[in-house]
């Protein structure tokens, strides 16, 4: 270690010693949880600026929390989107479907039907309600926890499960990790496992739409942890420079695997306030309030559509379940957090709102939950006819070599022959099922 240039370390003895700050979450496993430090704004009290306002007018909204649904289960204030009961029931139905789907797929992974799954429990509104506020052909660039967008857009459940099972019905040919869907038909971009990569891509798509004089806008979703990636900051810069018609949704669910939001910078400021330095409009929103999510997403969509500029929205929510089937959150956070989360559960809050309006009741809810569970079960059975991951390799080996390029070059041809030969030897000429 002779050549380390660290000679003069004694210098400056009468100056204060510098100290490193390493963030620490308030609660760890076993701790009693008290969320009173989380400021919860009063529903209905946040102003709603004009959609075409100067980005600076949203400054206050970057630190506040836009809320509509109150403890009385009623909608309040200028952000009330005034949705009709049918739309609210549809939204509640999507919520129920997402939850039932997550439940079943999680179990499927535990039963060995697939390798991996990720739930979005507690965050349903941030994808379902947001998607419902967009036009069906607006392009979305989701991350891996936005199954709600596909469900809201009516994507076929069997197709979703085929993808998760990597079976012979999987239109992505078994290539992608489960839940990494893609559906051009539903204006849903192919998901990458590399965090935050979709944010500049969404901006690029929105810029292209503007270059072509199209009317479709783009929206993207990124976790609060992932906002630390350079890609996110590149996206913000391009979005503001070109006034791209894009919405950057940051899902602040408090946890990035075992790391709390402090490791993405939440101890100093909000994620919505990231918008300010870039000159983007910013909104900080109760992500468990389906009406607030819908209203703010619609505000940003209208703004983008009117060429008034891009918006960064922080949806403040809570990841109620583990990060994925590979994660056990009891190793790093208090089990009590989920019950104590002060913003409640988006499904219950919407349900109670509909009941308060006299447009819903517990019996209909029970009936809907039962029907939804049946529907998911039937879809699962249907998809299982195409095979499950645990049963081996459903795709012909040659598909592995297709689509690397538009045309198959000589090396891939040779390798495809090798793979086919290996399959014949390994399975005595037969195909494994």
Ligand X SMILES: Cc1ncc(C[n+]2csc(CCOP(=O)(O)OP(=O)(O)O)c2C)c(N)n1
Dihedral angle computed from the Cα positions of residues 171, 172, 175 and 178, in that order, rounded to the nearest 10 degrees: -90
Q: Residue 4 binds which one of ligand X, other proteins, none, with CB within 5 to 8 A depending on kind?
A: other proteins
For other proteins, the binding residues in 349-388 under the rule CB under 8 A are none
Helix, strand and coil content of the chain, in percent to the nearest 5, comes to 40, 10, 50
Residue 178 binds other proteins (CB under 8 A): yes
For other proteins, the binding residues in 74-93 under the rule CB under 8 A are none
| Closest CB 292 distance from other proteins, rounded Å | 27
Residue 393 binds other proteins (CB under 8 A): yes
For other proteins, the binding residues in 242-261 under the rule CB under 8 A are 256-259
Residue 142 binds other proteins (CB under 8 A): no
Q: In degrees rounded to 5, what are phi and psi of residue 221?
A: -125, 135
Residue 323 binds ligand X (CB under 6 A): yes
Residue 18 binds other proteins (CB under 8 A): no
Which distant-in-sequence residues (6+ apart) come within 8 Å of 333 by Cβ? 25, 27, 28, 29, 255, 258, 260
| Closest CB 231 distance from ligand X, rounded Å | 8
Q: In degrees rounded to 5, what are phi and psi of residue 274?
A: -55, -30
| Closest CB 393 distance from ligand X, rounded Å | 25
Residue 226 binds other proteins (CB under 8 A): yes
Q: Residue 364 binds which one of ligand X, other proteins, none, with CB within 5 to 8 A depending on kind?
A: none
Are the C-beta atoms of 245 and 218 separated by less than 8 Å?
yes
Which own/partner pairs from 17-25 qualify as long-range (CB within 8 Å, at least 24 positions apart)? 23/260, 23/262, 23/263, 23/267, 24/262, 25/260, 25/262, 25/333
Give just the sign of the alpha carbon dihedral 33, 338, 179, 385. Answer: positive
Residue 371 CA, distance from chain mean position: 26
Query: To which H or E segment does residue 251 belong?
Result: strand 246-252
Nearer to ligand X, 259 or 365 (CB): 259
For ligand X, the binding residues in 182-201 under the rule CB under 6 A are 193-195
| Closest CB 91 distance from ligand X, rounded Å | 21
Alpha helix locations (H) across 117-264?
Answer: 124-133, 147-152, 157-165, 198-211, 230-241
Which distant-in-sequence residues (6+ apart) come within 8 Å of 35 by Cβ? 340, 341, 342
| Closest CB 323 distance from ligand X, rounded Å | 5
Query: How far apart, in whole angstroms, are the C-alpha atoms of residue 201 and residue 205?
Result: 6
Stretch that binds other proteins, among 72-80, 85-93, 311-319, 404-412 (CB under 8 A): 404-412
Residue 228 binds other proteins (CB under 8 A): yes
Rule CB under 8 A: choose which of 115, 243, 302, 386 binds other proteins. 115
Rule CB under 6 A: choose which of 108, 223, 322, 346 binds ligand X. 223
Query: How far apart, in whole angstroms, are the C-alpha atoms of residue 364 and residue 374?
Result: 15
Residue 253 binds ligand X (CB under 6 A): yes
The string over 252-290, giving b where at least 16 C-beta atoms fall within 10 Å of a residue's C-beta and e elsewhere, is bbbbbeeebbbbbbbeeebbbbbbbebbbbbbbbbbbbb
Q: Going along 287-405, which residue ranges are E strands?
A: 311-316
Residue 91 binds ligand X (CB under 6 A): no
Q: Residue 145 binds which one of other proteins, ligand X, none, with CB within 5 to 8 A depending on kind?
A: ligand X
Interface contacts to ligand X, rule CB under 6 A = 145, 193-195, 223-226, 251, 253, 255-257, 319, 323
Interface contacts to other proteins, rule CB under 8 A = 1, 3-6, 9, 20, 22-24, 28, 115-116, 166, 170, 173-178, 180, 192-196, 225-226, 228-231, 256-259, 263-265, 326-327, 331-332, 389, 393-395, 397, 399-401, 404, 411-412, 415, 418-419, 421-423, 425-426
């Amino acid at each position: 270690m002779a050549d380390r240039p660290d000679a003069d370390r004694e210098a400056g003895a009468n100056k204060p010693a510098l100290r490193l700050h390493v963030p620490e979450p308030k609660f760890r496993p076993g701790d009693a949880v008290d969320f009173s430090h989380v400021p919860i704004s009063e529903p209905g009290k946040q102003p709603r600026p004009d959609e075409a306002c100067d980005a600076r007018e949203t400054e206050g909204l970057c630190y506040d929390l836009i809320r509509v649904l109150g403890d009385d289960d009623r909608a309040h204030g200028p952000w009330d989107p005034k949705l009709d009961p049918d739309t609210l029931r549809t939204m509640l139905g999507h919520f129920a479907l997402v939850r039932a789907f997550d439940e079943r797929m999680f179990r499927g992974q535990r039963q060995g039907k697939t390798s991996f799954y990720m739930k979005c429990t507690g965050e349903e509104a941030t994808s379902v309600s947001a998607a419902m506020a967009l036009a069906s052909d607006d392009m979305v660039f989701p991350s891996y926890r936005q199954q709600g967008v596909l469900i809201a857009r009516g994507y076929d459940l069997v197709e979703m499960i085929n993808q998760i099972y990597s079976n012979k019905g999987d239109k992505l040919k078994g290539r992608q990790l489960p839940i990494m869907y893609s559906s051009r038909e539903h204006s849903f971009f192919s998901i990458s496992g590399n965090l935050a990569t979709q944010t500049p891509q969404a901006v690029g798509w929105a810029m292209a739409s503007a270059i072509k004089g199209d009317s479709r806008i783009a929206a993207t979703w990124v976790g609060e942890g992932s906002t630390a990636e350079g890609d996110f900051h590149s996206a913000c810069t391009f979005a503001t420079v070109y006034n791209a018609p894009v919405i950057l949704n940051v899902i602040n669910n408090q946890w990035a695997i075992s790391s709390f939001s402090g490791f993405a910078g939440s101890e100093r400021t909000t994620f919505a306030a990231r918008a300010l330095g870039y000159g983007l409009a910013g909104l900080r929103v109760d992500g468990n309030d389906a009406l607030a999510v819908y209203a703010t997403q619609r505000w940003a969509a209208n703004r983008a559509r009117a060429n008034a500029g891009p918006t960064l929205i922080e949806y403040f929510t809570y990841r109620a379940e583990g990060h994925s089937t590979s994660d056990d959150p009891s190793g790093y956070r208090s089990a009590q957090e989920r019950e104590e989360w002060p913003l409640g559960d988006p499904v219950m809050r919407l349900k109670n709102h509909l009941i308060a309006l006299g447009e819903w009741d517990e019996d209909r809810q029970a009936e809907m939950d039962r029907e939804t569970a049946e529907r998911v079960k039937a879809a699962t059975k249907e998809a299982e006819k195409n095979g499950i991951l645990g049963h081996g390799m459903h795709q012909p080996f040659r598909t592995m070599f297709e689509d690397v390029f538009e045309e198959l070059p000589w090396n891939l041809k040779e390798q495809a022959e090798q793979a086919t030969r290996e399959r014949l030897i390994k399975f005595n000429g037969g195909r494994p099922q």
